[in-house]
A and B are shown apart, each in its own frame.
Chain A
Amino acid sequence: MLEIKCPYCGARPQVEFAYGGDATVKRPELNKEITDQEWDNFVYYRKNPRGKHSELWHHISGCRQWFKAQRDTTTHQFIKTTKLSEEV
């Protein structure tokens, strides 16, 4: 069982959380002309590093807040968790 530190509630067991994927994906701005390539990148392309990964988590069975985490994909170790407004 992983222990995940919610920036709002503190350390809680993994089963309280849902995974939200790559935190670096940005939706293109509304009403802005974009290329198909930019849209494809937003919809289908994710960072998939072996090692440090910036990702979103959702404390879905707790405070229901989304937050950012930096985690090592080779060890599952959570390096740091922060609120969305903060820099990791």
Chain B
Amino acid sequence: MQKYSIFSLIKNAFSNHKNWEVAWKDPTPKKEYDVVIVGGGGHGLATAYYLAKTHNITKVAILEKGWIGGGNVGRNTTILRSNYMYDANNLFYEFGMNLWKSLSQELNYNVMYSPRGIINLAHSDAQMRVYARRGNSMRLNGIDAILLGRKELKKFIPFADFSSDCRFPIFGGLLQPSGGTARHDAVAWGYARQADSMGVDIIQHCEVTGFDVVNGKIQGIRTSKGEIKTKKVGLCVAGNTSVLTEKFNMHLPIESHILQACVSEPIKPILDNVVTFGAGHFYCSQSDKGEMVMGGDLDGYNSYAQRGNLPTIQHVLTEGVAMFPYLSRLKMLRTWGGIMDMSMDGSPIIDKTHIDGVYLNCGWCYGGFKAIPASGWTFAYTIAQDRVHELNAPFNLNRFSSGNLIDEKGVGTKTWIG
């Protein structure tokens, strides 16, 4: 594999950039693999990468119905954070935050990791106390957290509405300085390129049509490009998980919902951090190109459509303008939607299943992007060792029966409300 560097860039400039190697091959599927990963998004690609790199399992195929990076890894708002309350979430996501720090170097691909800090706004004394508690929980788990008062916060986001007669006056906020953003496509492409170089076959435009299960064991997988034998299958298909698991009569505590986001026209730097206005169902950051990247609520009904409706965008932007009045003058460039695999407690599932050799990675709700490295790493471990790692042990499928839910938001099973 060609190493990307300033020297390779200069060298290729002399041939008008016409001689770059392909970043990943386009192989035809082999008859048999040790592991087949379904879904060529961030989680699937990262899983294949860590299978090859950490566990030395390189006879791996990634099957992708569309093209790699065309699903939620290309449809998110690129936020990285580990600002949770519960230990299980804190430890898992912070493990991922440490992987993010060196990901560009590890993948030899600039993922534009930008730890610019994420701020959650608070609008009452009660909310300040809740954030103090959450910040303490983070710090006890070794995560950086700073509770900001109104005056300190104003230095970070001077153009927010700090007036005291608005519906949600700003009392302060919780800052995680190591939170931030990364370039979503680069994450998918970086993992794909490295996985490919270690022998992983990335097979695009290949739809899974069925599973061959004999005596409770997976024997192979049927696809639009023929049958493939394998003893292990990992599912990383986010919003389409239920569609695949229905094929072997497995029902999941998951609903698929549409979540929209949008970007404005680019403007000069005005917002340094990622800011979430939870009370207003709005969050925002500014991309390196200058676009304001904004998102908020689910549309609120089951959907596989990858596109939403205008009322939700209007609602989100109305809240946005309330917090950042300067947004009202901006034109929107693009809106898009992705299908979220909303689990019934708001936390993911990374686990084995009742079928020997079928592994499940789903339930990411709104937070799949930041989890890509940690999810890939723990899922690869679970597939390779046929057991859960202590990091993903709490995210088991059994918790819905055992009562050990990880309901960070405490909104119950109506995931479309949260």
Contact = CB atoms under 8 A, between A and B. Distances in A.
B168 interface: no
B302 A55 contact: yes
Given A1-B310, A44-B253, A45-B253, A19 B416 contact: yes
Interface of A: 1-2, 14-15, 18-19, 21-22, 36-37, 40, 43-46, 48-50, 53, 55, 71, 73-76
A75 to B, nearest CB: 7
Contacts, number: 64
Given A44-B413, A76-B301, 10 more contacts: A1-B310, A19-B301, A19-B416, A21-B302, A44-B344, A44-B400, A46-B254, A46-B255, A50-B243, A50-B304
Contacts of B256: 48, 50, 73
* Nearest 8 pairs of A and B residues by beta carbon: A48-B242, A44-B253, A19-B301, A44-B400, A44-B344, A50-B304, A50-B243, A73-B304
A55 B309 contact: no
A45 B300 contact: no
A53 B302 contact: yes
B413 A48 contact: no
Contacts of A15: 311
A74 B304 CA distance: 5
Contact of A1 (B300, B305, B311, B413): B311
A31 B368 CA distance: 41
B116 to A, nearest CB: 35
Contact of A40 (B246, B401, B416): B401
B305 A46 contact: no
B-side interface mostly: mixed
A73 B311 contact: no
B309 A14 contact: yes
Contacts of B254: 46, 48
A82 B206 CA distance: 39
Contacts of B243: 49-50
Interface in B399-418: 400-401, 413-414, 416
B110 interface: no
Interface in B230-254: 240, 242-243, 246, 251-254
Contacts of A43: 344, 400, 413
- Which of A1, A22, A44 gathers most chain B CB within 10 Å? A44
Contact of A76 (B246, B305, B344): B305
Contacts of B413: 43-44
B416 A76 contact: no
Contacts of B253: 44-46
Interface residues of B, number: 25
A55 B301 contact: yes
B104 interface: no
Given A48-B254, A48-B256, A53-B302, A76 B309 contact: yes
A59 B175 CA distance: 40
A48 B401 contact: no
B309 A1 contact: yes
Contacts of A49: 242-243, 246
A31 to B, nearest CB: 22
11 contacts: A14-B309, A19-B416, A36-B401, A43-B400, A44-B400, A44-B413, A46-B253, A48-B256, A50-B243, A50-B256, A71-B301
Contacts of B416: 19, 21
B311 to A, nearest CB: 5
Nearest to B400: A44
B309 A48 contact: no
B108 interface: no
Contacts of A53: 302
Contacts of A14: 309, 311
B354 to A, nearest CB: 13
A84 B413 CA distance: 22
B303 interface: yes
Interface string B341-371: 0001000000000000000000000000000
Nearest to B416: A19
A19 B297 CA distance: 14
B309 A73 contact: no
Contacts of A75: 305
A76 B337 CA distance: 13
Contacts of A44: 253, 344, 400, 413
A49 B255 CA distance: 9
B399 to A, nearest CB: 10
B302 to A, nearest CB: 5
B83 to A, nearest CB: 26
Nearest to A44: B253
